[in-house]
Amino acid sequence: MSKIIIEGGRKIQGELRVGGAKNSVLPIMAATVLNGKINIVHDIPKLSDVEVMSKILRAVGCDVKRENGTMIIDSSKLDNHRIPEELVREMRSSIVFLGAMLARCGETIVSYPGGCEIGPRPIDLHLKSLREMGADIEEKHGFLICTTKGLKGCDIQLDFPSVGATENIMLAAVYAEGTTTIRNAAREPEIRDLQQFINAMGGNISGAGSNTIRIDGVKELREVEHTIIPDRIVAGTYLTAAAMTRGEIVLKNVIPEHLQSTIYKLKESGCKILYTHDTIKLVAPNKLHAIESIKTLPYPGFPTDMQSQIMALMTISDGISIITENIFENRYKHAYELIRMGANIKIDGRVAIIKGVPKLTGATVTANDLRGGAALILAGLVAEGTTIIENAKHIERGYDHIEDNLKFAGAAIKKM
């Protein structure tokens, strides 16, 4: 079981480059099965989730090679429509193979997905939408047995702007007969990146980034080369690290437009932030201010994936902050670990009330999920003494060598 050990009290400062976005890489890797040809994808981060996706691709017959940050995926020899159960259970994002495999093979068998335990994340929107397109889906013994004699375009109204459902519909609709329209679609930047990838291989998708996406079915796709967009959550985490440690940081390879809700809240806490088209500079204040209200919402609202990190920031801010978690109902497990480090946090359902304290103290804590683990790292950076974060494998799902990057920026941190 991996651990991260931090000696607190050092400023995070200097320059860091942000790599490719986890939430963009995973659906794009699933999309590589569509063309049955060569896919070259650049700026792939080294994450355990990426490794799981690679294993799934190999299990269905694809050839996957990695050369530093570039992955070459040849899906021409795909010969298996069953996704291994043990891999699906490791990672929720694997459910996007459902739409991609239905489009390519006309059939697939997938178990219900796993992932971080942050509350119910039903896939009923995925299944309902695919059924509307003509998929026959039988749920039996924990498996989804999916077949189709040919998907057909249709109008789909999502009850909630689900990222995963939007991606699955986009993937399934690439070869569907006619036009598929998704209304109340997710608007995340990663959806736009998936559109750009599919269109680069010859797909016909428009509207990603808005709440209405249109997919016109095509007959054939070609080889493709694509570079993944920068990870806005990793960027937000490093900005928060500098803010908490009273540091100063410049992030390179970022898209500030994707981080506006996070930037706004960091400014509210007293940080000075300047940016160009692909860099962000943060200068922390001597004293952090409480943020009166933070409510997680679908993009472009404040991201649920930054809620844990901003809570860590608020634990040492001057005043009382209130966070309302509107996306996942069980995403406060990190709060109880922060309390072990001296934080003053009260949880009432989906609401967290944080009263800033003068300091945190090092303790042995446990990472229960990916972003909660990142929050514990941030807390450890400012805590007095030594912080040991157990079960750090969760953090490896979404951060490419975070301990090395923070060490480069001045932290006393190591992984064991």
Annotated binding site: 22-23, 92, 121-125, 305, 327
CA angle centred on 7, ends 274 and 377, rounded to 5°:
55
Contact 374, 402 (CB under 8 A): yes
What DSSP character marks residue 330? T
Give the C-alpha distances (Å, rounded to integers) separating 36 from 83, 132, 153, 224, 227. 17, 26, 22, 11, 19
Q: In terms of DSSP H, where are the helices of 18-108?
A: 22-31, 48-59, 85-88, 97-105
Helices (H), 112-228: 124-132, 163-173, 189-200
Is residue 95 within 8 Å of 126, Cβ to Cβ?
yes
CA distance 244 to 310: 10
105 is catalytic: no
d(CA 177, CA 401): 43
Backbone angles phi, psi at 413, to 5 degrees: -145, 140
Q: Using CB atoms within 10 Å of the CB of residue 143, give its burial: 0 to 12 exposed, 13 to 18 middle, 19+ buried.
A: middle
Three-state helix/strand/coil letters over 224-245: EEEECCECHHHHHHHHHHHHHC
Q: Which of 62, 105, 116, 154 is catalytic?
A: 116
Catalytic residues: 116
